[in-house]
Structure 1
Amino acid sequence: MRKAAIAVLMASALAAVGCGSDTGSRTPGDADGRGPITFATLKDGTGTVPELVQRWNADHPDEKVTIVELPEGADGQRQKLVQQAQTKSDVYDVITIDIPWNAEFAARRWITELPREQFAVDGFFDAPLRGSEYRGKLYSIPHFTGSAMLYYREDLLDRAGVEPPSTWTELRAACAKVLALPAAEGMSCYAGQHDKYEGLTVNFLEAVGSAGGEVIDEQGNPHLDTPEAKAGLEFLVDGFRDGMIPAEAITYKEEEGRRAFQQGDLVFHRNWAYIYALANADDGSSEVAGKFGVTVIPGADGPGVSSLGGNNLAVSAFSTKQATARDFIAYLTSLDTQLEHAKGSAYPMTRTEVYTDPGLREQYPYLPVLKDGIEQARPRPSIVRYGDASTAIQESVYAALKGERTVDAALAEMQRALSEIAEGS
């Protein structure tokens, strides 16, 4: 049951928010306030987060935490959180945000600056920590993180006599050999997340980054008029055109792709760490249990670059109990708590020491690959209007994948749209 529940947790792995109410005549925000608080977070099907909250509550009877489960789906979660912030509601004290929203929420003063010394920041991975900053100041704390991994049918690669690929060319060559096997009849080569949602933005950013380019630089300027950007989009477009990526993958989010791989329909699949336990379940729900391996995602000329996944914890600027909220975040993101959390959940933690723990490496054999991926991963663009930028990327990339735009036209369209967003920030 625990393995199955992880799907619910990770399928909404990219964000969380809260709905708000009018605070009326109350003055929102109290940096030194203490007392019971609310924690707006993702639903945890494993039960691990509620257990950790219960431990806190036992030790802090006057500052108990109440969990508020937030809706599934990044778009709806962000909308709820924006509504809460715009009404200056104090209904939530600690909020869970998708890492690329950090800049927007900090710039709009919806979350508070956090003191570095309270959170032992030296123990976090560099990339998640950088994504938690805005203009050199810390506004949220990495809670969960993650990089994409390439899942592959180890049994079929062994039969075909090929190694796991590290480049796109090797990926295609491996598929040609594997799909020629009688055991691979009816299978497709590769799929990631290609539906028109945040996952498509992530997959496109990865493709461009894995070709040596960047979609948006640190100053918020787009770079879609480069050979690297063209190579990244062509990898995806050509994949659909020549059948390397199956036509039905145009509807794939995380769970649709996971099911396709788990049912034995794909040789290679790009996804997050959460699907490892599900695909390896020995209860009859997976056709590939014990038959697959993982490696870093491939790139144009070598190992690719993943977009950084994960969620951060922040203190609402409208909370009247911010001192307690900060203490709770420090507790939940401490090394000891993360080690306990990792034992009960496949969600990737944000402190590097978690990945060297012998017991956890035995429990989660993919940890070395995941650690390598996280260390090389890039945060999604840290810009105030990230939501608008992501929507513009999705529209153009999706049109190119469906053959409604040429690669050049889609890139030019993105360049114009993202330039306007940068100028209007």
Structure 2
Amino acid sequence: MIARQLISKCIHARSAVNFHPFQDGHQLFIQIPQPNLDYLHHSMLDLLHQNRSFQALEIVKKQIREVGVTHVDEISTALATKACSGDPKLGCQIHGFALTSGLDSFLSVSNSLMNMYSKAGQIDRAMAIFEKLTNPDIVSWNTLLSGINNSNDALTFACRMNHIGITFDAVTYTSALAHCADCEEFLFGIQLHSLVLKTGMQSECFIANALITLYSKWERIVDAEKVFDEMPMKDLVSWNAMLSGYSQEGSYGEQACTGRLEGDEGLMRRIPGRGGNGIGIPVLQSLLGNCKVYGDFEVGEVLLKMEPTKSGSYVLLSNLYAEMGEWDEVARIRKSMKERNVKKVVGLSWVDVCDVGGYSSTHVFSSNDMSHPRMMEIYWMVGVLGVEIRFLKG
């Protein structure tokens, strides 16, 4: 939200200086004797996109040190504030600079400051900045609405927006609906859904996902299904929200979900996975726990067909059959793994070990691991602890 506002202001700067998109902004900047604002903006944006906030702040300091504060504008300040998100101590320093330089009068700077304080959990400071704004835009309102942690307070703020005639956008609806789900404000959620329909924004994926989550939490799975079915485009969040709703609905949820998936692997393959390609297998694996309750493992069997070389679905389904006492099925799955040469990935654990001198190291190990150099001492101590536990249990 804040980033889009800042990036739009930097479009001209990026085109004017003809940067290569993959250049290292930090290295590029420090090599220029007296970089202008176009270079500063571009370098900071590149570093923020790479999650290198510290370097982004460093080049602002370099600009101030070598050229002076007059060569730091509102875009640089807003970007520097964004780099401080989650660190109110650094953010307060940028805030102080904005106040003394007068750059806080720019809306982009104020919005970025509110975003920074909200992420740091200091909503009172964000609200104080907001109340001083003479003409807040929708980004200002949404920044505060999204940053308020208490759902009742957030919905009160949303009512204030509606009362004074602020036109809600997709971000506003999504945030407000999320708060409705958290505090079970059923009627307010229904009113928001009505407004979404009136404004024709029901096709927005973010809004539809929030509505599905909302109805699922209220155990109104049929309404959630209606929203889901009417979505022109669905992403992984859409499927996760719907599947989560089914998992809360007992036998109806399991049957409805199986009815959507069984016999239609084409449909299952349209559930997006990470990267946007192929099925989101972890999404479907989450169904197996609910299938176990009703002794229906059809989803799991389809998963085996779709991932015949991956061990995860085999192990999960085998464990579920074992819990149900279906040992013939367990044997069948293990035989299938052997025939297809599917190897179970060894589960690893790790522990931080600190010696007397204060030096710490991390040791990674698996079940029956004998590789640690002090293995004999470790197993001896485990034995001692086992004896003490049995003694304490009497």
Q: TM-score range by the shorter chain?
A: under 0.3
Which protein has the bigger strand share? 1
Which protein has the bigger helix share? 2
Q: TM-score, normalised by structure 1?
A: 0.21
Larger RCO (alpha carbons 8 Å, 6+ apart): 1
Q: TM-score, normalised by structure 2?
A: 0.22
